Structure 1
């Protein structure tokens, strides 16, 4: 009867240990998933948020440099330097196109993609207006170019900058959401790690209990064997 009882207890212990091991395995897999999620979030923060934000700074710089270049030209009033202005504008536009190309390579949410396309459209319109101003300057009519720069040019410039501000706001919003997701993953990882520790302690206590029970049964059975 004692051995039957021992076998029954061992079967129950084995079943319980098996369940605990399954739970430990599941928690380990979930922990690994959380770690991968945290890694992806931080990688995305760098590659898809920090780098593009830097690109936005460079885009803003190029737009203001073009604006300043035009204003200096109108102040200088040198007709023979319009060719140099055209060359510098072309260099800035190439840089802007290159930065937009790099921006497109990153992960873009829907609103971000819409704002980026709108920025490209506004900038293309602004660049065409700049060429009109240069053409007027080369033709010896800088006053008409100045009027175009001050009126239509100012409106288009503000619209272009508005799109960049939209991109900056979206970058900030998505970045905050990634941080919140990372915090949730960290909390889940801590919770699962705590469960794993508790399970290991429970397994250890069960093993100690089985060892102790085996010793007690062995000591009770020993006089019978001696007889």
Structure 2
């Protein structure tokens, strides 16, 4: 009954090959998942970190320009210069507001949301001071107004800079975390690829062995009457 034993071995080998094929399919699914996750991580690094970091830096630069223009506005007595400086401040504020709106649409971590709330609050406080000074600068006491600018104005501006710089630092730290997670996904994909290749080799070897066994049974006549 050798042929029965051989048939059982063939069936066993077939099940093993089916199992290996299933594992390969599973690994393919995991590989696709890793690739999708990696793409999402790369997109997040670009959209939510690099672009967001550049956005915060631009807002800081615009507000710094406004702070200097406000000082110049206090010192000048030219009506033409007043109008030019006020137009520049309004333009910068409008651009900063648009950038802030875009920043709020990015993916924010908990620490980032907290810093953003403080950023918005301190920005409103400084804007109010800025608007008050612009309204009084044309007719007010220049010396007194400049003292307010140096004391209250600089203090409010520095208070605003704290959460602004914190937001910039968060972009770097979170970006590093995303990068490290991406590296792990790449390593995982490499491991899966290696194991998958090994399984394919095993599957091919098993198929070859199964084919040899089949040929042996077919080519070797069985003497059933002797069993």
Assess same fold via TM > 0.5. yes
TM-score by length of 2: 0.92
Match of 1:178 in 2: 178
- Mapped to 1, the partners of 2:23 and 2:5 lie a distance apart of 27
Match of 1:114 in 2: 114
Match of 1:99 in 2: 99
RMSD of Structure 2 on Structure 1 (CA): 1.8
Match of 1:212 in 2: 212
Is the Cα contact below 8 Å between 2:133 and 2:145 reproduced in 1? yes
User: What are structure 1's unaligned runs of at least 5 residues?
Assistant: none
Is the Cα contact below 8 Å between 1:133 and 1:146 reproduced in 2? no
- 1:32 paired with 2:59, answer no
Which deviates further from its counterpart, 9-18 or 32-41?
Answer: 9-18
- Mapped to 2, the partners of 1:129 and 1:202 lie a distance apart of 75
Is the Cα contact below 8 Å between 1:136 and 1:144 reproduced in 2? no
Q: Post-superposition, which runs of at least 4 consecutive aligned residues in structure 1 deviate over 4 A?
A: none
How far 1:19 sits from its partner (Å)?
A: 1.2
- Mapped to 2, the partners of 1:80 and 1:204 lie a distance apart of 85
Match of 1:4 in 2: 4
Is the Cα contact below 8 Å between 1:80 and 1:138 reproduced in 2? no
How far 1:79 sits from its partner (Å)?
A: 6.1
User: What are structure 2's unaligned runs of at least 5 residues?
Assistant: none
Match of 1:88 in 2: 88
TM-score by length of 1: 0.92
